[in-house]
Chain A
C-alpha cells in the first residue's frame, strides 16, 4: 500500500476534479470544502513522500508494473520531493485566498480546474519519462488556459489567446524535440536516455544536439527566459491574480525540467552537448534579469509589476541553474523555493490592491485597510527584490557566492546587483505612489478617473485573504529562520543531481531487483 503513495499526488486531484464537476456542480460550499480538503491531503501526502526521499533513496513507481525502459515510471528523488511539497504548500494559501476573495464565484469550475492544474504540476515533477513529461505539461497547460480566462472579460480573453497560441507552439516544439531524440536514441525514458546518450559516438550527434537545443527552447519558454518571455507579462497581468499566484510555480516547472534533463540526460560530461548551457543559457538569464527589473520600474499597473518581478526572479534563478555546478545548483534550489513564495505573495497583494482601487500605479485616494496592505506589499517587495531580512537576501547571497569560480563572475555580480537595485527602485516607486501619495490628494478631486471598487468588500469574509497572505509570508520567514536546514537539503539535492548513477540504476532496475 505504501508504495502506491507515490502516485497519490497525481491521482488525488485527478479524482477530486471530476467529482467536483459532476457531483458538486451546483454546490459552491461543498466544492470549496472538497477542494481545500484535497489541497490539505495533498500537502500531507507530499510531505510524507518528501520525508521518504530525504534520506537520498530514489523511489520508482512502475505504472502497470511494466519495467522501466518499456513502461512509464514515476520517480521520486530529493528534487521531486522538494518540488511537490513546494507546490502543495503554495496551492493551499492560494486556494484559501481565492475562496476568501470570492474569485471562485466569478466564473464556473474554478475548483475543478485548480485541481487539474495541481495534477499536471505534480505529474510533471514526478514523471521519469520525457513523453509523459509532455503529457503532464499539456494537462497543466490546458487547466491553466481555463484558469487564465476565469471570469472572462475582453482583455483577459485577448491576453488568453496570446498565451494559448504561444504555449501551443511551445508544445509542438516539444514534440519535434522528442521525435528527434527518439529517432537518435530509440527511447524516451529519462534514465534510459541518459545511458543511450552517453554511448552515442561523437560524430553521430548532430541530430542529438538539435534535439537538445529544441528541448532547451521548450523549457525556456516555460521558464520565461528572455527572448521567449513575451507571453508572460500580459498573461499574468490579465489573469485573475490568485491564478497568477499559482502560475508562480509554472515557470518553475520550466526551471525544474532544465535542471532535470541537463543534469541527468545531457549532463556536464556529455561531450555532444557541452557548452550549450554555458554559452546560451547564462547570457539569456542575465538579460532576463535586467528585462524583468526594468519592467518592474516601468510598470503602470500593479499586476504587470508583479509579473515582471516574477521574470526578474526567474532570471536570477536561471543564472544559478545555468552554471551547472553543485554549489550553484544548491543556491538555485534555495532561491527557487523563495522566489515561488515571494512572487505568489506579491500577486496576492496586487489583487488586494486591485480589488480596492483598480491597480493603476498612480496617486489615488487611500484605500480601505491601507496600512495592512501596504505592510504586506512592503514585505513582498523586499522579499522579491532580495533585501534583508527575508530569504531573498540569503538566496541572492548564495547565488553570488556560488558564482565565484565562474569566468563570467564579474558580469553575473554586476547584473544581479544592478538588477536588484533597479527592482528596489521600481518597488519603492510603486509603493510610494500607491500608498503614500494618495494621502495628499483632496478628498473629492482626484486627478485620475479611478473607478470605485466594483466589489463591496464588506460582503465577503475579509479575513481569509489576509490569512492566505500571512501564510505565504510565514513560509518566507520560516525559509529565512530555517535557512541552515534548508540549504543543507538543497546541497544534498544538488549532490544527488550531479551523481545520476544511482537514479539511473534504480529506474532501470539494475540493483533494485
Chain B
C-alpha cells in the first residue's frame, strides 16, 4: 500500500508539473488540479497509512486508531483547492474571452499605448 500511495503522489505531481509548464491556460489548470490531488493524498500519508481503523480513541478498550488530524487537514485542503480552481477557471475564461487567446504569457505592450483597462 505504501508503494501504491507513494507512486500515486509522485506520478500525479510529475504529471501536474509537466502540465503547468505548458503554454496554454487549460493544461496549466489541469496540472494545478493534479497537483492539488497529489497533495491531498500526501497529507493523508503524513498521518501514517492504516486501514480499517476508526479515527477516534476508544475509551473502553485498547484498539488501533488512525490519526484524525490529517483527515481534517485534507478536508480543508480539498475545499480550498476546489474553490481556488473555480476562481482560476473563471479568471482564465475572462482572459480568454476578452483577448481570444489562452496563452498564459503576457504579450508585449506597444510603447506609448494607452491603458487598455
Specify the chain B residue showing the minimal Cβ separation from A153.
Answer: B117
List, in ascending order, chain A residues with CB within 8 A of B35's CB.
169, 172
Chain B nearest Cβ from A414, distance in angstroms: 33
Find the A residue at minimum CB distance from B48.
A183
- Shortest beta-carbon distance, A208 to chain B, in Å? 13
Given contacts A152-B117, A169-B20, A449-B113, contact A182 B69 (CB under 8 A): yes
Interface residues in B43-79 by Cβ distance below 8 A to A read 43, 45-48, 69-70, 73, 76-77
Nearest CB of A to B96, in Å: 8
The residue of chain A having its C-beta at the shortest distance from the C-beta of B110 within the complex is A449
- Closest B residue by C-beta to A181: B46
* With contact pairs A165-B32, A172-B36 given, residues A180 and B46 touching in the complex (Cβ less than 8 Å): yes
Chain A residues with Cβ below 8 Å from B76 are 131, 135
Q: Is the CB of B88 within 8 A of A176?
A: no
A449-B114 Cα distance, complex, nearest whole Å: 8
- Closest-by-CB residue of A relative to B69 is A182
**B116 lies within 8 A of A155 (CB):** yes
A178 interface hit (Cβ, 8 Å): yes
The one of A145, A175, A176, A449 that contacts B91, using a Cβ cutoff of 8 Å: A145
A418 at the interface (CB under 8 A from B): no
The answer to whether B116 touches A153, judged by C-beta atoms less than 8 angstroms apart, is: yes
CB distance from B39 to the nearest CB of A (A): 4
Give the CA-CA distance A362 to B114 in the complex, in Å. 12
Alpha-carbon separation in the docked complex, A131 to B95 (Å): 32
A161 and B80 in contact, given A360-B112, A454-B115 (Cβ under 8 angstroms): no
A contact residues around B25 at 8 Å (CB): 161
Q: CA separation between A234 and B46, bound complex, in Å?
A: 36
Neighbouring B residues of A178 by C-beta, 8 Å: 43, 73
User: A162-B104, A182-B47 are known contacts. Are A157 and B111 too (CB-CB below 8 A)?
Assistant: no
**CB distance B106 to A448 under 8 Å?**
no
A175 to B88 CA separation, bound complex (whole angstroms):
19
Given A175-B39, A234-B106, A164 and B91 contact (CB-CB distance below 8 Å): yes
Point out the residues of chain A lying under 8 angstroms from B88, CB to CB: 161, 164-165, 168
Interface residues on B, range: 35 or more
The residue from A145, A153, A182 contacting B87, defined by CB atoms under 8 A apart:
A145
Contact flags A156-192 to B (C-beta < 8 A → 1, else 0): 1111111011001101100110111011000010000
Given contacts A135-B76, A169-B32, contact A449 B104 (CB under 8 A): no
CA distance A112 to B91 in the complex (A): 19
Counting chain B CB atoms within 10 Å of each CB, the highest count among A164, A178, A180 belongs to A164
* A281 interfacial contact with B, CB 8 Å: no
Once the chains are docked, how many angstroms separate the CA of A157 from the CA of B104? 10
Residues of B within 8 A of A159 (CB): 106
> How far is A446 from B48 in the complex, measured between Cα atoms in Å?
69
Q: Complex: how many Å from CA A386 to CA B29?
A: 41
The reply to whether A156 and B42 form a contact with Cβ atoms under 8 Å apart is no
- Min Cβ gap A161→B in Å is 5
A205 within 8 A of B: no
Give A contacts to B, CB under 8 Å: 131, 135, 138, 141-142, 145, 149, 151-162, 164-165, 168-169, 171-172, 175-176, 178-180, 182-183, 188, 234, 300-301, 354, 358-360, 362, 448-451, 454
Q: Which residues of B contact A (CB under 8 A)?
A: 20, 25, 28-29, 32, 35-36, 39, 42-43, 45-48, 69-70, 73, 76-77, 80-81, 83-85, 87-88, 91-92, 94-95, 98-99, 104, 106-107, 109, 111-117
Cβ contacts A to B, 27 pairs, < 8 Å: A135-B80, A138-B80, A138-B84, A145-B91, A153-B117, A154-B98, A154-B99, A154-B116, A155-B106, A159-B106, A160-B91, A161-B92, A162-B104, A165-B20, A168-B88, A172-B35, A179-B39, A180-B46, A182-B47, A183-B47, A300-B111, A301-B109, A362-B112, A448-B112, A449-B112, A454-B114, A454-B115
